């Protein structure tokens, strides 16, 4: 019995198929789990007191109020009880900002107002060229 001796050469290539299979499984797992990570969670935001903003007398401030029903009011120095549209606010604020670039704009929103109303107002103010924007709040009570 004669055996033929054939030596196999060592294989220097790595078999990539198992690695590709593992990567595909990981890709599918991350694609399924990623949308679950972006969902919002109901949180109870803390109520804290903060230091009040000190505005120099030389700087003018512009206050825009949002009532609980979502009506917008622009305070131009004279007390106005007439609701204003977002487009009108953007036009007026744009003129004020172009005349006084350093004007401080403050939003005074009711705590019951829809969050989307505040965001829409902030977006309109950004389009109007407002660079210095703040939110007015009441200080937290010591009991909370």
- What is the mean pLDDT, run by run of 10 residues, along the chain of 144 residues? 69 85 94 68 48 62 83 72 84 89 83 85 90 78 52
Is pTM beyond 0.85 here? Answer: no
The pLDDT, as a whole number, for residue 55 is 60
Tell me which residue of 50, 51, 54 sits closest to 104, measured CA to CA: 54
Residue whose C-alpha is closest to residue 63's, from 51, 49, 80: 80
Per DSSP, the three-state class of 129 is coil
């Amino acid at each position: 019995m004669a055996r033929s001796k054939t030596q196999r050469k060592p294989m220097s290539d790595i078999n990539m198929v198992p690695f590709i299979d593992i990567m595909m499984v990981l890709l599918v797992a991350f694609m399924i789990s990623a949308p679950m990570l972006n969902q919002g969670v109901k949180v109870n935001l803390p109520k804290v007191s903060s230091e009040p903003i000190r505005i120099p007398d030389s700087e003018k401030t512009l206050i825009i109020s949002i009532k609980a029903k979502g009506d917008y009011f622009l305070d131009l120095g004279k007390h106005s009880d007439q609701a204003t549209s977002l487009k009108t606010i953007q036009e007026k604020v744009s003129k004020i900002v172009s005349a006084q670039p350093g004007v401080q704009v403050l939003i005074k929103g009711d705590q019951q107002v829809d969050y989307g109303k505040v965001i829409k107002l902030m977006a309109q103010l950004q389009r109007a060229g407002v660079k210095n924007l703040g939110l007015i709040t009441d200080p937290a009570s010591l009991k909370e």
